[in-house]
Structure 1
């Protein structure tokens, strides 16, 4: 049997990351390769420049291929952005009287009906997630398969995305000569990498702080209950630092990453950092406490929006597992304590190690910023909903020898001549296929005569 290898591709606002993985004998993800590149064509989680995004994908995929010695053809892709919306929908079907019990097929039929629900113009459904079922008069059933009944009903959590945003992601994937197997909401992917089943059962909210957005997913009783997107992330903090400290964008990012803190009370008044002046001008001193005040003010605003979202969901008081912070923005110093102070729930930083096995690449990805890419790789082996007994489609990617790998890399670097006439090639292919069919028919006739 061929070995199943899955590639997760995270197209983020600040980076594009590709993770190549396979499941080992202990049912843990073994990392075979990692590639990442700076993202300059994505804004607020949405592709804004096809060419630059494609270039970043090419770089990340090439690095992952070089690291893993595997030719990548198919990827699982994350979807994010402020265009993401969700709502609840009720559905029902009547079962044939001759059926003895509810089958997986019946549940699938009810779920598939939800993809026909009318959504806002210009949007499409990317996830249909069942909350609970009703069989005849019996309510709040977690899994109805095997039960006897005539009418099957369910409440669903439906996630939609802007159709043009999905098309732009697809264009970038296709221009990189790749195929998308699954498209998954990024906080759901991240949850697969950082949340334990016990946390999902107890009630937990994952807060994925990216560059352009902050994504929320709430689990309770082992089931996804709510998703939301806050249109602010790490980039807006960098912009605040740029304006508040009167520095350049790249200097603001360095200040945030190296010296930034989310609680000004934990800093000293005397601590300063010196920034080189522009074009031999006098170096500029930045107060660490003032830097922390800027970060804290923006983070408090984001946390207030998160708390309001948790309250509106109805699960704020049911999260015994507390909050799990992940994504690149989760690495801000003291952010965990600020969340605990503002929201009043136990909080931890989500490192993607829950299902991660030991491998040569495992240490490199033990970072919250890789949680989404790892989750997308895990999505090829596991389901978001544990009740879903369907196995994911088998997508196999073959290891290649060094000679073939070198040839493949060289071919990918060749520039396609877009001025060459394509009609002749297409027509030639058509003639060849027609010729092959005629030969096959002729041979079949000869066999029949015999």
Structure 2
């Protein structure tokens, strides 16, 4: 199969690396390959060991290539971490000729982007929220409209240059080109949110291994993004210390028996807990495990609630909250979230617009990887197929850094 026929999403996560291979079809995207590998080179969404990250990416790729029967060379990679910052901006220009052209749209977005950001940060996304033509608001596409003044409100997402560069560098060392680096919450939203939810107002909360990503949508545009440096790995740590069991055993116990609400467990339910140092396993009540899990889950969700209140958009999310990411598979997470947010909550699962091996990815833990795939499909549908000869994000960032050093010298 030709490389240009494929779209690949690569979720470089704290606890797992996931590759999803898809092929554009008339009905959407057909999933033709999936590969996962445990991640050992990242902490809280940021690469801390490039060599380990490269090895994990290769394992995930090999599995996906074997299933899809193809050779992967170009991917859309996700980025997260507490270094991510999102804010809203505003641009305004005069329209030449009395009719809005594509050049005017490009100019006004560029005007909104013209803000001072620190030298060590890079703009990852500039996302238009609405256009305003001569005080007429709520316009999603102003092309061809008559007017003399064009304004735009945008949401700008920035990240640390080094963090983006390390993800791209890891991919390059795994013999991959990166078409684009995409904010993980933005990718997940494409996989699990419905158009109705985005229109009415919804908060997406993606609870991953090392980070919790938040994105707020209203009137079909993104209003707020943020990343908390807390996730399922913190929960695994708590279980390991609380039950005095190895980290891998704690992870297995969390997946199999974890519960975010102790009230859902009866004292009679028992589980086997492996001990450290070759000691014998112990029998323990599942309620003890739930009492360890509940405070941490409550803390994560309470911090998300504080972030929503602080953003000023909590009263706009009439459709409630959509939880996704592997950690939200824990029993009782949805019920606990409803108590804390005082809003309707559902678990977001990818699946709409997908064909092929659709059943294999219908789990919250695949939301980001599938979202990256869908983001790639949308992007390539607009600008044509990506070829491996195109200038990658790595080269762009490298060029910018070279310019900095030239300016300093």
TM-score, scaled to structure 2: 0.90
Partner SS, residue 379 of structure 1: helix
Moved more, 127-136 or 277-286: 277-286
2:209 corresponds in structure 1 to: 211
Measured after TM superposition, the shift of residue 117 of structure 1 is 2.4
Name the residue aligned to 1:404. none
Q: Is 1:267 the counterpart of 2:268 in the alignment? A: no
Please say if residues 5 and 395 of structure 1, whose CA atoms lie closer than 8 Å, have aligned partners that are also in contact.
no
Within 5 A, what are the aligned runs for 1:218-229? 218-229=216-227
Structure 2 residue aligned with 1:370: 366
* 2:166 is equivalent to residue 168 of structure 1: yes
Q: Does 1:107 align with 2:105?
A: yes
1:386 matched to which residue of 2? none
SS for the counterpart of 1:31 is: strand
Q: Which residue of 1 aligns with 2:395?
A: none
For residue 199 of structure 1, report the CA deviation from its aligned partner. Answer: 1.2
Task: Answer with 1 or 2: which has the greater Rg.
Answer: 1
Q: Which runs of 4+ in 1 moved over 4 A?
A: none
Asked if 1:394 corresponds to 2:385, the answer is yes
Alignment correspondent of 1:315: 313
Matches within 5 A, 1:83-122: 83-96=83-96, 99-122=97-120
Mapped contact 1:4–1:396 kept (Cα < 8 A)? no
Q: 5 Å matches for 1:139-150? A: 139-150=137-148
Segments of structure 2 that go 5 or more residues without pairing to the other structure are: 389-409
Asked if structure 1 preserves the Cα contact closer than 8 Å seen for 2:246 and 2:276, the reply is: no
> Which runs of no fewer than 5 residues in structure 1 stay unpaired?
384-388, 398-450
Q: Are 2:43 and 1:43 aligned?
A: yes
2:187 paired residue number: 189
Distance 1:180 1:32 in 2: 20
Q: Which structure 2 residues correspond to residues 14-53 of structure 1 after superposition, within 5 A?
A: 14-26=15-27, 28-53=28-53
* Residues 98, 146 of structure 2: 8 Å contact kept: yes
Q: How do 1:3-82 residues align onto structure 2 when only pairs under 5 Å count? A: 4-26=5-27, 28-82=28-82
1:380 aligns with 2:371: no
Q: Distance in 1 between matches of 2:373 and 2:68?
A: 14
Aligned to 1:406: none
| Alpha-carbon distance between aligned partners in 1 of 2:303 and 2:274, rounded to the nearest angstrom | 36
Report if the CA contact (8 A) 2:100-2:145 is conserved.
Answer: yes
Output one character per residue of 1:40-79: Cα deviation in whole Å (capped at 9) or x when no partner.
0011001111001011111111211111111111101111
CA drift at 1:341: 1.2
Which residue in 1 is equivalent to 2:282? 284
SS at match of 1:160: strand
Q: Cα offset for 1:153?
A: 1.5
Matches within 5 A, 1:213-252: 213-252=211-250
Aligned residues between the structures: 386
Partner SS for 1:40:
coil
2:280 and 2:8 map into 1 onto residues whose CA distance is 48
1:101 deviates by 1.1
Q: 1:324 aligns with which of 322, 325, 337?
A: 322
Q: Secondary structure at the match of 1:18?
A: strand
**RMSD value, Cα:** 1.8
Name the SS for the 2:376 alignment partner.
coil
Q: TM-score, normalised by structure 1?
A: 0.82
Determine if contact 1:208/1:326 at 8 Å carries over to the other structure.
Answer: yes
- Give the structure with the higher percent strand: 2
CA contact (8 A) 2:246 2:275 kept: no
Paired residue secondary structure (1:262):
coil
Task: Give secondary structure in 1 for the equivalent of 2:378.
Answer: coil
Residues 380 and 392, structure 1, Cα contact 8 Å, conserved in 2 = no
